[in-house]
Amino acid sequence: GALAVLGVQEDCIRTWVRELHCRYTFVPYHNEAHGAQVAHFSYWFAKQTGLLDHAQPFQMCALLIAAFAHDVGHFARTSMFLSKTSHAVALIWNEASVLENMHTSICFALMSGKSDILKNMPASQRTQIRVAVTRYILATDVKLHASAMSKLKAMMDDKTFLSNVDNEEAERQEEEIIVAGEFIMRTADIAHCMLPWEHHKEWSYRVQIEFFEQGDFERSLGLPISPLCERETCNIAGGQAFFIDHFGVGLMTVLKDFGKRLVGGNNDALQECIDIGLKNKDKWKEEAKSFDALSLSMKTVEELWGAAVKEVVYPYSIEKAAALAPQVCEQNLRMLADFKSPIIGG
């Protein structure tokens, strides 16, 4: 378990999780429920493909840390919007994977004091985890989709891929595990399209609300409306068909081949995910008849699936003083500016 790998007390991990929790904002899609879902998918995919048996415990721990934190601090605006409005986040990270870089920085900045979950790890392994977590979170940048597909496919064509190796080949195998982990993260991030219809439909409505609200804001600013964000021209059936085919089924097909390469045979569970995704694509044709882009809002979601419970419920007892208030983007950026190194103190 994480306690054994990280070598810290349970309270330390809980403190880090609470810090993470208060920085996931109350937005329709990129919230902490999405983070938890991606963590669940990441572990399940690692198990189904056989990566769990090839990776070292600290490597799997890095994957789960990244999954939980991969959208922390998200405030329902795309990287494109941040760039064209000269937002501070885009300026700080120089227009390159700006949201993903922000999520990564917040993830590590929270590892301080009583919430430093890496403090007892050897320096070399701490560095390895930081590198892996960074790469896993940055891998969720959708612009890297095509290159990631090609990279993993090329590695799998090598007959020595993730084979038992001597010490001289250990560095190569570590890179292969990270590349596989990147691919799992990327697939887990969009895997709701392979959930049963009602679950997939709700998540799709939620992300579309974020897009439309951004488009409404862009219109009010007199800016060109970003792709996927225009209510009036939305083709929900066509958009979802492209998303499911290009991202969902495309990624899952490669992931299934990856699992076959590691453990042999066909994986019925992964194939079932693909089959569900294709069924969901067909269902959007019927759903499009009643989909109202012009009025879509969180009120729509609450009428269909109910409102979220706003009270925070912890799975363990906690003093009220230890509960943290929600933090917004400006507060997160200030935290990063004030961050002090746990090693040199400044």
How does DSSP assign 304-338, residue by residue?
Answer: HH-PPP-S---SS---GGG------HHHHHHHHHH
Residue 320: partners with Cβ closer than 8 Å, 6 or more residues away? none
Going from the C-alpha of 191 to that of each of 67, 157, 179, 279, the distances in angstroms are 13, 25, 18, 14
Q: Give residue-wise pLDDT tens across range 211-234.
A: 999 999 999 999 999 999 999 999
pLDDT at 41: 98
Given this model, what pLDDT does residue 168 score?
62
Residue 151 burial class via C-beta count within 10 angstroms: exposed 0-12, middle 13-18, buried 19 and up: middle
Would you say the pTM of this structure is higher than 0.75? yes
Looking at residue 50, what DSSP letter applies? T
Q: What's the mean per-residue pLDDT of the chain?
A: 92
241: enclosing H helix or E strand: helix 236-242
**8 Å CB contact between 86 and 223:** no
pLDDT tens-digit series, residues 284-323: 999 999 999 999 999 999 999 999 887 777 778 777 656 6
Q: Which of 57, 94, 126 is nearest to 342 (CA)?
A: 126
**Does residue 284 contact residue 242 with C-beta atoms inside 8 Å?**
no
Note whether 69 and 189 are within 8 A (CB).
Answer: no
What does the pLDDT profile of the chain (346 residues) look like in tens digits?
Answer: 777 889 999 999 999 999 999 999 999 999 999 999 999 999 999 999 999 999 999 999 999 999 999 999 999 999 999 999 999 999 999 988 999 999 999 999 999 999 999 999 999 999 999 999 999 999 999 988 888 888 999 999 988 888 766 666 778 888 999 999 999 999 999 999 999 999 999 999 999 999 999 999 999 999 999 999 999 999 999 999 999 999 999 999 999 999 998 887 778 999 999 999 999 999 999 999 999 999 999 999 999 999 988 777 777 877 765 667 888 899 999 999 888 776 666 5
